[in-house]
Amino acid sequence: MKKLFNNFTFNPKNDILSGITVALALVPEAVAFAFVAGIDPLVGLYGAFIMGIITSLFGGRPGMISGATGAMAVVMVHLIKEGNQVGLSLENPVDALGLQWLFITLLLVGVIQAFAGILRLGKFVRLIPHPVMMGFVNGLAIVIFLSQLNLFKTNNNGVQEWLFGNELYIMLGLVVLTMLIMYLIPKLTKKIPAALIAIILVASVTIFGDLGVSTVGSFIKDGGGAGLEGTLPMFQFQIFELFHTIQGHWSLVISTAFLLAAVGLIESLMTLNLVDELTESRGSGNRESLAQGLGNILNGLFGGMGGCAMIGQSIINVNSGGRGRLSGVTASISLLIFILFAAPLIEKIPIAALVGVMFMVVIGTFAWSSFRVIRKIPRADAFVLVAVSAITVWQDLAIAVIAGVIISALVFAWKNAIMIRARKKIKKDGTKVYEIWGPLFFGSVQNFSAKFNVKNDPQNIEIDFIESKVNDHSGIEAINNLAKKYLKAGKKLTLTHLSPECKTLLLKADPSFKKIIQTSVNDPRYYVVTDQMDVEV
Question: Above pLDDT 70, what percent of the chain?
Answer: 90
Distance set, CA 463 to CA 48, 243, 325, 337, 508 (Å): 61, 64, 58, 73, 20
**Residue 5: which pLDDT band, with cuts at 50, 70 and 90?**
low
Q: What is the pLDDT of residue 528?
A: 45
Distance set, CA 37 to CA 11, 252, 312, 474 (Å): 37, 16, 19, 46
Are 296 and 306 contacting, i.e. CB atoms less than 8 angstroms apart? yes
For the chain, report the end-to-end CA distance as a whole number of angstroms.
13
Same domain flag for 359 and 486: no
Q: What is the pLDDT of residue 432?
A: 93
Strands 308-309 and 66-67: antiparallel
What are phi and psi for residue 531, nearest 5 degrees? -90, -5
Q: What is the pLDDT of residue 392?
A: 83
Q: What is the pLDDT of residue 241?
A: 62
User: Is the per-residue pLDDT at 535 higher than 50?
Assistant: no
Same domain flag for 368 and 435: no
User: pLDDT tens digit string along 216-233?
Assistant: 888 877 766 666 665 555
Question: Is residue 491 domain-resident?
Answer: yes
Across the range 373-395, mean pLDDT stands at 87
User: Is the per-residue pLDDT at 332 higher than 70?
Assistant: yes
User: What residue numbers bound the domain in which 514 lies?
Assistant: 418-518
Same domain flag for 123 and 238: yes
Question: Above pLDDT 90, what percent of the chain?
Answer: 27
Q: What is the pLDDT of residue 240?
A: 55
Across the range 336-356, mean pLDDT stands at 87
Question: Is residue 343 domain-resident?
Answer: yes
Q: What is the pLDDT of residue 54?
A: 96
Across the range 263-275, mean pLDDT stands at 88
Q: What is the pLDDT of residue 470?
A: 83
Same domain flag for 205 and 121: yes
Question: Is residue 480 domain-resident?
Answer: yes
Across the range 405-419, mean pLDDT stands at 84
Question: Is residue 338 domain-resident?
Answer: yes
Q: What is the pLDDT of residue 34?
A: 82
Q: What is the pLDDT of residue 525?
A: 54
Q: What is the pLDDT of residue 527?
A: 46
Say how far apart CA 476 and CA 304 lie, in whole Å.
52
**Residue 530: which pLDDT band, with cuts at 50, 70 and 90?**
very low
Across the range 105-114, mean pLDDT stands at 95
The length of the chain, given as a count of residues: 537
Question: Is residue 100 domain-resident?
Answer: yes
Q: What is the pLDDT of residue 327?
A: 94
Q: What is the pLDDT of residue 231?
A: 57
Across the range 133-155, mean pLDDT stands at 84
Question: Is residue 412 domain-resident?
Answer: no
Closest CA to 95 of 104, 85, 103: 85
Question: Is residue 199 domain-resident?
Answer: yes
Q: What is the pLDDT of residue 234?
A: 53
Same domain flag for 68 and 211: yes
Say how far apart CA 264 and CA 402 lie, in whole Å.
13
User: Is the per-residue pLDDT at 290 higher than 90?
Assistant: yes
Same domain flag for 335 and 428: no
Q: How many domains does the chain divide into?
A: 2
The neighbour count for residue 136, using CB atoms within 10 Å, is 28
Across the range 476-496, mean pLDDT stands at 89
Question: Is residue 383 domain-resident?
Answer: no
Same domain flag for 201 and 127: yes
Across the range 184-212, mean pLDDT stands at 87
Same domain flag for 358 and 445: no
User: Is the per-residue pLDDT at 532 higher than 60?
Assistant: no
Compute the mean pLDDT over every residue in the chain, rounded to the nearest whole number: 84
Are 71 and 267 contacting, i.e. CB atoms less than 8 angstroms apart? yes
Please say which residue of 378, 409, 441 terminates a domain.
Answer: 378
Q: What is the pLDDT of residue 224?
A: 67
User: pLDDT tens digit string along 26-41?
Assistant: 887 888 788 778 888 8
User: Is the per-residue pLDDT at 529 higher than 50?
Assistant: no
Q: What is the pLDDT of residue 283?
A: 87
Same domain flag for 362 and 481: no
User: pLDDT tens digit string along 240-253?
Assistant: 566 667 777 888 89
**Which range in 143-152, 175-184, 220-229, 268-277 is most confidently predicted, on average pLDDT?**
175-184
Same domain flag for 441 and 347: no
Could you tell me the strand order of the sheet in which 460-467 lies?
421-426, 432-437, 460-467, 492-496, 517-518
Same domain flag for 350 and 207: yes
- What global pTM score does this model have? 0.73
Same domain flag for 368 and 425: no
CATH of the domain at 440: 3.30.750.24
Say how far apart CA 284 and CA 10 lie, in whole Å.
18
